[in-house]
Amino acid sequence: MLKKSFTGAAIALSCCCASTAMATNGMNLEGYGAKSHAMGGAGMAFDTGNSAVMNNPATLGFMKDGTEEIGIGIRGLHPAVKLEYGGMTDKSDATAFYMPSLSYIRKDGDITWGAAVLSQGGMGTDYGSDSPFYQGGYTSAALTGGKIEANQTALSGKDIRSEVGVGRLMFPISYNLTDNTTIGASADFVWASMDLQMDMDGMHFGMMETGGTMLSTVNASTLKYLRYDFSNGTPFIGQAVGYGTGFKLGFTHKVSRLLTIGGTYHSQTMMSDLESSNAKLTVVNDTSTELTGKIKVNNFEWPATFAAGISLHPTDRLMIAGDIKYVDWSSVMDKFSTTFIADNTTANGAYAGETLNMDMKQDWRDQTVYSVGVEYKATKSLALRGGASFSTNPVPDAYLNPMFPAIVKNHYTCGFGYRLSDDSKVGAAFSWAPEVTETNGEGMAISHSQTNWSLNFVHNI
């Protein structure tokens, strides 16, 4: 879910530009830029235009000397998430996400450089206030000897939603070492944000790894439920925010007229914790107590990615491309960890100044993504594109949570590029991700499918 992000200054447009995106490959999008998107997400060894900043920065070297381009893009994601358990069904109301992008790229001799901003990815859902799965739960005492006793309790009846967004402000540079070999790099400023409105019944809280000074006050043995609530309701950046850095390295090499190869490394980010001083935690035992305080989402990072690809040019009109990507989710998605620190005020009563730590196990697996695409230049102005991507599912069934159903695997794509004039061109892409259904450790069936699109306009100034 990536609806949330921000930029600044030249990026005022991108404040509308980096909104939240629903997960496609884990939390990554299946392709960046209309050209790559239409070709199954491939983009390591051919010119993907300004979108090279998120694919392989070395491919910026394919631009012609003296080129100076401004790019504007928009990405639409339309996920469909459904739940089924015990004869009950529900679906997420989060069905449309829109993410603009903005870029400036210039080539002077052998050096290509510029700046760009876009939303990288994320995930999230919205089950509203009437979901049958969040009306009731069990107290902590309901779990006895590993068995659930009939001790159901009502939950808050308030909105249940989650939203995670990650965006980047990137400063790429590439250098043509020879006529056939190019190297590239990008220094990235990264931000991430999160909204979360979630009820957790006492039984499930008792299954979590917990700690902090608040535990004795909460009386976890008879807890009915906790409610986490930190959300600002804006489409640009979430309530809890963190900032950091990352970088990319890449290369391309033209082996022959027929074959070009390329590869890239995207580093793991170095982020601060996501924090907000405007969070609420509701504790419900025999009485209900709403606490104000600070929330920290601990150790949130974006994973490292390794990718390599080829492009084949059998004729001047036909190009065939293929990539393989390896995403190191296991290094950053082992658990979802939060710390709530209650304000030290009289309004918080006995909880004033106390802390509550909670870790939710995720244990994501590393992910491999295979992309293949074809481009055929039907005329001097029109290029037709198609492709597909195939990936593994990084989310283990045992820990699959309906709030974060990042289980989509395969995508089938198509699109086109059209040159409007010597200085302007547009690109468009559409992708379909067939429904994937997995059953989590509690027997809930979670289904997720998507239809996505992208549109880019580039002008040579």
SS (H, E, C) 352-391: CCCEEEEEEECCCCCEEEEEEEEEEECCCCEEEEEEEEEE
pLDDT band, very low/low/confident/very high, at 23 (cuts 50, 70, 90): low
Q: How far apart are CA 300 and CA 406, in angstroms?
A: 16
What was the pLDDT predicted at 8? 31
* Alpha carbon of residue 319 to chain centroid: 29
- CA dist., res. 422 & res. 67, Å (int): 12
Question: Two tokens at 138?
Answer: 């069990």
pLDDT number for residue 358: 94
Average of per-residue pLDDT values in the chain: 91
| Cβ 401 vs Cβ 423: under 8 Å | no
The predicted structure's pLDDT at residue 197? 95
For the segment 302-361, what is each residue's pLDDT rounded down to a tens digit? 999 999 999 999 999 999 999 999 999 999 999 999 999 999 999 999 999 999 999 999
Tell me the two tokens of residue 67.
Answer: 């080129």
**How does residue 1 score in pLDDT terms, banded at 50, 70 and 90?**
very low
Contact 143, 204 (CB under 8 A): no
CB count within 10 Å of CB 178 equals 9
| Tokens coding 450 | 């998507």
| Cβ neighbours, 10 Å, residue 294 | 17
Smallest Cα–Cα separation from 97: which of 7, 19, 42? Answer: 19
pLDDT tens profile 151-199: 788 999 999 999 998 999 999 999 999 999 999 999 999 999 999 999 9
Domain boundaries, the chain: 9-460
Residue bearing tokens 């639409």: 76
CATH class of 9-460: mainly beta
Q: Quick one: pLDDT at residue 16? A: 37
pLDDT interval class at 14 (50, 70, 90) = very low
pLDDT at 77: 92
- 47 CB neighbour count, 10 Å cutoff: 17
Query: What radius of gyration do the chain's Cα atoms show?
Result: 24
Question: Is 12 a residue whose pLDDT tops 60?
Answer: no
Total-model pTM: 0.90
Please answer whether residues 173 and 185 qualify as being in contact, where contact means their C-beta atoms are separated by less than 8 angstroms.
Answer: yes
Q: Give the three-class secondary structure for 11.
A: helix
Q: What confidence score (pLDDT) does residue 141 get? A: 79
Distance (Å, whole) CA 29 – CA 235: 18
Q: Cβ(386)–Cβ(411) under 8 Å? A: no
